[in-house]
Structures are given as structure tokens and as C-alpha cells.
Amino acid sequence: MLRDEIITCDKNYFMNVFKGRFPLVVDHGEGVKVYDKNGKVYCDFLSGIGVNALGYSCPELVEALREQVEKIIHCSNLYYIEPQAELEKWLVNHSVADRVFFSNSGAEANEGAIKLARKYFEVRNENKYEIITAQNSFHGRTLMTLAATGQEKYHRFFQPLPQGFKYVPFNDLEAVYRSVGPNTAAIMVEPIQGEGGVYPATREYLEGLRKLCDEENILLIFDEIQCGIGKTGTLFAYEYYGVEPDIFTLAKALGGGVPIGAFLAREEVANAFKPGDHGSTFGGNPLATRAAITTLKVIKERGLLNKVKKTGQYFKNLLEELKEEIDIVNEVRGVGLMLAIELNRNKARDIVNYMFEKGFLLNAVKDNIIRFLPPLIIEKTDIKNMVGELKTVLEKNNL
């Protein structure tokens, strides 16, 4: 198909749900670069919304997937497979969790986490079902995870939503204390809010939640779907904060681009699930688990976590300099390679469009917030080039 035909097909046949797709027909990728079908090259600072941790065409990942495709792509969870076994063992050995379940997406991972939290109290004959989540959070697009998401605009047209959620302002411990009641089963937060505009939790906040959960017999759930898998310079965001959750969820970068999600829990919690309580046709299938175990091993073997600490700090410093130099940049936020700048006017989309013309993929997560989620393999030179161009765009255009 020609480039234009592809775009026309989308207009004619695809459900019209995505806000302003860019005129980019992705053909292939290499390293941190994405190639349009017309040959134009883009340096990717979004990585498929925090998915392509190893960039594109990572040789180890390509080779592992090629081998796996030739062996077997899918079989049922009625049988055992080696990549799933390897992945579950690896995740448990490298985290606070004792058990894991695999899903196909982030939303499904959160669904599972919420089900597990409810079952945990059900088997203890305690009437605890309510989940406290944060305002401005994002937990997914299924009805249950929409209900968990503390943003009114996502709820509006889909009533009635599943019940049992309460929303509190983020980073406000007092508000959580006031909202906890006898029916509170869990507090669920993103250690760094992603879709909300890249707002990191404070350490005191997460420590306070941990303490409260311990005192009140409540489960602490971290949604690490966006901020997990290396973004913070630690494998999991909870390690960056030094606060351990009872349940946590992963997806996005876990499979290095192949769809896979997971929820993980300590033994005592995971034990609440009995045969028949949960399941999935595709979840944890050979292709997805092979992709995930390979991605995790490459992150480890190449020392990418240390690299992220360095490139992340370098990136943040450059953005701070930009803030000093350019009036309309109000604030720099984020940790590691999950960063954002906030502008004092609603021009984020215009700037992202200018940068697109210049060959950089960025994201306007809100009208006044530009988000950066590059692959973990991004180099300082790529960052320097992008921020240099961003500065030119900010200076030149009458915003």
C-alpha cells in the first residue's frame, strides 16, 4: 500500500478514537530511530509510550523472537512452557514478590490486582472491598480500571461504572487518612503518575502509605505499568523509593514491544487466589514471555539501569538549563528517563508538532506538558541534539 492509502484506510475503517494521529506511517525502526515509509527518520523520545525499552531491532530480542516463532507462538495455559517458567522465576528472584500472573496489557494486570485484593479479604471473611486511588491517576481503559482512574473526563460517557472506588488528591497523606474506612481494602497509586502529566510521588508520601496500610490492615498496590522496568534507574520504581508494595503491576516495557502485562504479590496475598479464580487465554504465552525474559536479561547484561541513572540526570540537567533560559518553561519534573516539562501556556501540542517536523517524536501529555519517555538505550548525544532543537523551536516560534 502507498503511504497515503494507509492513512485513508484508517480514516475510513478504524474507529475514530485517537486524538490527532501524526502524519507518520511507521515502516521500521533501528536503535532509537523510527523510519517513515517515505524514508524520513525520527529520533524517538516516546518509545511507543514507554514500551520499547531496548529501542528497535535489538539483535538479542530479534534473535530470541525469531527462534521462538519457529518453535511455537502460542499454547494454552493448560500446559507448561519454559519461557514462562524462566520469566516467573526471574521476576520473583529480582523483586519483593513471591508469585506472578501474566496478562496481555496493563489494564488487565490492574484488573487482576484489584480482583486479588478483594479476594484476599473475602477469604478472611472481612468486608473490605473499597479501593482508594489518586486524583489525576491513570489505570487503564477497561470499565474496572476506568473506575480506578481518578479523572472525571474518562468516566463521563460510560456510567454506571463498577463501584467501590474513592479518589484522593495525590501526594496528600492527610487526605488518605480521612478517606480510609472499615471497608478499605487497598490503596492503589502510580509511584510516578504518567498520563496525568509525570508527577512523581514524594518519598514521604509512599512511606506514609506503607505505614498506614500496615497499621490499618490495607493492601498497598503500586501501578508500575509506566514507571517500572528501568525508567527510574532501578528495575522497579518501588526500589527507587525504597517502599515495598503488597501487589504491583507491570506492562508497557516488560515485553520490549511484545504485549505482556503482569501483577505480582507476596505469598500471603497471592495465596488468596485458588484454581478457577483467574485466568487468561493469551496471558504469558510463549512469544510474550520469551520477549519479556529476553528484555529483562538484556537490561541487566548491558548495565542499562546504571546507564539510565546517568543519561537521566544529564537529560534533567539540560531541561533545567532550558527552564532557566526560556521563559515559557515553568517546571521540570520526573525521575530517570521518565521526564516532562511544564509550560506556562497551552502550547505543548504546537511544540510537539514543530519538533515532529524536525524529526523528533515527543508527546504532549497535557495541553501544557511535554513528556519524554525515550528508550533506555538513548545516548547523551541524542538527548543533546533533541534539547538543542527544542530550544531553537521554543526561541524561534511566536508561542
Ligand X SMILES: *Cc1c(COP(=O)(O)O)cnc(C)c1O
* Interface contacts to ligand X, rule CB under 6 A: 105-107, 110, 138-140, 190, 194-195, 223, 225-226, 251-252
Binding positions are 106-107, 138, 141, 223-226, 280-281
Is 4 among the catalytic positions?
no
Instruction: State the catalytic residue, choosing from 45, 102, 138, 372.
Output: 138
Is 252 among the catalytic positions?
yes
Residue 132 or 225: which CB sits closer to ligand X? Answer: 225
Residue with smallest beta-carbon separation from ligand X: 106
The set of residues, in sequence order, having a beta carbon less than 8 Å from that of 335 and lying 6+ positions away, is 192, 200, 227, 231, 232, 233, 237, 240, 312
Least Cβ distance, residue 4 to ligand X (angstroms):
29
Least Cβ distance, residue 51 to ligand X (angstroms):
9
Instruction: State the catalytic residue, choosing from 252, 307, 316, 366.
Output: 252
Residue type, 150: G
Instruction: State the catalytic residue, choosing from 223, 315, 347, 360.
Output: 223
Is 214 among the catalytic positions?
no
Residue 191 or 329: which CB sits closer to ligand X? Answer: 191
Nearest CA-CA partner of 58 in 265, 253, 267: 253
Binding positions for pyridoxal 5'-phosphate are 106-107, 138, 223-226, 281
- Strands 363-366 and 329-335, by their bridges, are unpaired
Interatomic CA distance for residues 379 and 256, integer angstroms: 18
Least Cβ distance, residue 181 to ligand X (angstroms):
25
The set of residues, in sequence order, having a beta carbon less than 8 Å from that of 271 and lying 6+ positions away, is none
Q: How far is CA 374 from CA 236, 311, 350, in A?
A: 17, 11, 20
Which parts of 94-202 fold into alpha helices (H)?
106-122, 143-148, 152-155, 173-179
Least Cβ distance, residue 167 to ligand X (angstroms):
15
Q: What angle do CA 224, 262, 271 make, to 5 degrees?
A: 110
Residue 107 or 341: which CB sits closer to ligand X? Answer: 107
Residue 87 or 225: which CB sits closer to ligand X? Answer: 225
Interatomic CA distance for residues 273 and 98, integer angstroms: 13
Catalytic residues: 138, 223, 252
